Amino acid sequence: MTKTNPGNYFEDFRLGQVLRHATPRTITEGDVALYVAFTGARFAVTSSDEVARAAGLPRSPVDPLLVFHMVFGKSVPDISLNAVANLGYADGRFLAAVYPGDTVTSTSEVIGLKENSNRKTGVVYVRTTGVNQRGEPVLSYARWVMVRKADEAAEVANQTIPVLPDAVSAADLVLPAGLNFKGYDFTLGGSAHAFEDYQVGEKIDHIDGMAIEEAEHAMATRLYQNTAKVHFNAFERAKDPSGRRLVYGGVVISTARGLAFNGLENAGLMLGVNGGRHVNPYFAGATIFAWSEVLDKVDLGPCGALRLRLVATKDRPCADFPDKDADGKYPAEIVLDFDYWVAVPKRG
């Protein structure tokens, strides 16, 4: 009897199955520093204890996307170790702030299964929840991933595609406890632009570009303890037509968010993920550019919330806002289409 874990294949999943993921992770200030090193993230409220306290928080919280990656990484050995690719996200909500020293643990429920017509792979839909050391939920999101079959002839019962909301309702957004932005300094934040300055339909070219190198994406993915083979196993990936390791999509998301600082400087706290798709593969070495569109805005009282669409490209500047065509087809240069809510201070 083998003691090693080969990971689950598509036929190993069952609708309603609940998977408790191993290796709780205590997130440290070192993790936060490495996240900045890998992504260039520079939002003031997640960089400075003093700025965070002026916004009503006890100290600088862990960047919500770092929390997302840590919770996600816990699920990989059970969900996507044998993945071809992670396909998308939906219905994600950050439910409580996480601070350095907090420990996150993850659990996933299988909410959908759909075998592909080639019978070699199938799509697994899961809802993953992260909780802190007090058992309080800090994050909940759905994702779907294409997973290989070990036995192409294996039958999988109760196949269904779950119905997921197009967006998280503004009424369901949760602000970090204490957040009020009353003493927030826009100069220290990096820009004078407040919630009132953004208009629905507005598009922002973030101008800057950043290449992700092979060593950087591998180290970042290890930081999140994401063990998916497609990101690390060069021997196996040599059999793929690309012949290369695929960069974890979360690295692309965080890099694009880091670039989005230029134009969204005061939008440092992500509140929800409405949807996201990795529409084309990204391999290390290409330069990431990004642009954003304001889809909606809501006054939440202590602050405003912007619903933003973040589009990332590879080796393609975004001055003309490259996008999908009328038929919904994306050009090869677009690698990410990500829809999220973010908190923004109001003026005064």
Instruction: Return all residues near 340 (Cβ < 8 A) that are at least 6 apart.
Output: 92, 270, 271, 272, 273, 274, 276, 307, 308, 310
Contact 341, 173 (CB under 8 A): yes
Instruction: Return the structure tokens found at 65.
Output: 């996307």
Give me the phi and psi of 105, to 5 degrees please: -130, 145
Q: Which fold has domain 10-344?
A: Thiol Ester Dehydrase; Chain A (3.10.129)
Contact 306, 294 (CB under 8 A): yes
Q: What is the pLDDT of residue 319?
A: 98
Distance, in Å, from the CA atom of 237 to the CA atom of 229, rounded to the nearest integer, reads 8
Q: What is the pLDDT of residue 194?
A: 97
Q: What is the pLDDT of residue 228?
A: 87
Where are the chain's structural domains? 10-344
Digitized pLDDT (tens) for each residue of the chain, 348 residues in all: 688 988 899 999 999 999 999 999 999 999 999 999 999 999 999 999 999 999 999 999 999 999 999 999 999 999 988 888 888 899 999 999 999 999 999 999 999 999 998 999 999 999 999 999 999 999 999 999 999 999 998 988 899 999 999 999 999 999 999 999 999 999 999 999 999 999 999 999 999 999 999 999 999 999 999 998 889 999 989 988 999 999 999 999 999 999 999 999 999 999 999 999 999 999 999 999 999 999 999 999 999 999 999 999 999 999 999 999 999 999 999 999 999 999 999 997
Distance, in Å, from the CA atom of 62 to the CA atom of 27, rounded to the nearest integer, reads 8
Q: What is the pLDDT of residue 240?
A: 87
Q: What is the pLDDT of residue 1?
A: 67
pTM: 0.95
Q: What is the pLDDT of residue 230?
A: 87
